[in-house]
Amino acid sequence: MTDDPARPEDPPGVGLDRHRADEAIYQPFNPGPVPFTRGEDGLPAPDVPTDLPLVPPLVPETMVCMADRSAFVVRDRRWGEVLARFHPDEVERAPSGEYYVGLEQMEGKLAPELWEMCKEEAVQDPRSLMRFVVEPIRRQCKFLARQMVDFQDAAENQFIERLCTARRDSESFFLSVRDQQVHACELRSPRDPASEQRLDRFDDAKIRLGRERYAEGGVFDVDKALERTEKEADRGLVFGGIFKE
């Protein structure tokens, strides 16, 4: 709050960004008091842990948000099935950002009926060359936003902040997914069915465990537990309600 009527109070943040992008690096660092121990020479020495966790490597297999450009494909527009596959060396990128291959790379990749369909959809560029649009085997999620910025007072060093714009943290800033693994996500667009199968397998395993627990101890009967809780309440013996099981 300011006492100067000519300078209104700053509006609250709306989650577009922090005050500085590189605060994502500095904010989590809060070491607190450094403990000391007695060193080999008998003098006090800081007791600094040596088994600090390492940042996981950035690879498409464990970061489902990013694009996987290890291969490029042409997909069936209805079902998403791969109709043709290309090595990255065969693919070029237009100034518009789209990936494409030429006629020489496309010939022989498709069945005759699909080849005719693709020729109709091919783009004729000003040089009278045919371009066929392709896409990465897994496209980047539209909710992933990347920013490359300098460190404070160290312009010769840069880092990339990676934000999920579909989620926000407790302070309403876009959620940072930098330096971590994202194995699967149903918020992703376009969807990635391969990683969604991991979610299904995880849920299936949890369901099996749940059924085993019920089989060992009997199915949880809410009405029976509630009735018992009411009797305990009459005797003054309630310790957590029906959900304590």
- Alpha carbon distance 198, 196 (integer Å): 5
Q: How confident is the model over 12-37, as pLDDT tens digits? A: 544 444 566 656 665 555 556 767 77
Q: How confident is the model over 102-112, as pLDDT tens digits? A: 888 888 787 77
pLDDT at 158 over 70: yes
Q: How confident is the model over 37-96, as pLDDT tens digits? A: 777 777 777 776 666 667 889 999 999 999 999 999 998 888 888 989 999 999 999 999
pLDDT at 220 over 70: no
| Residue 158, token pair as written in the block | 């840069």
Question: Residue 99 carries which DSSP code?
Answer: E
Of 153, 134, 158, 151, which is closest to residue 67 (Cα–Cα)? 134
- Are 88 and 71 contacting, i.e. CB atoms less than 8 angstroms apart? yes
Beta bridge partners of 90: none
Q: Residue holding tokens 């800081």?
A: 46
Long-range contacts of 36-40 (CB under 8 A, 24+ apart): none
- Alpha carbon distance 83, 116 (integer Å): 13
Beta bridge partners of 214: none
Beta bridge partners of 37: 45
pLDDT band at 182 (very low <50, low <70, confident <90, very high): very high
In the chain, pLDDT over 90 holds for what percent of residues? Answer: 31
194 phi and psi, to 5 degrees? -60, -45
Q: How confident is the model over 221-244, as pLDDT tens digits? A: 777 777 776 776 666 554 444 444
- Alpha carbon distance 75, 119 (integer Å): 15
Q: What letter represents residue 208's amino acid? A: R
CA angle 104, 106, 111 (to 5 degrees): 130
* pTM of the model as a whole: 0.66
Torsion of CA 199, 201, 205, 211, to 10 degrees: 90
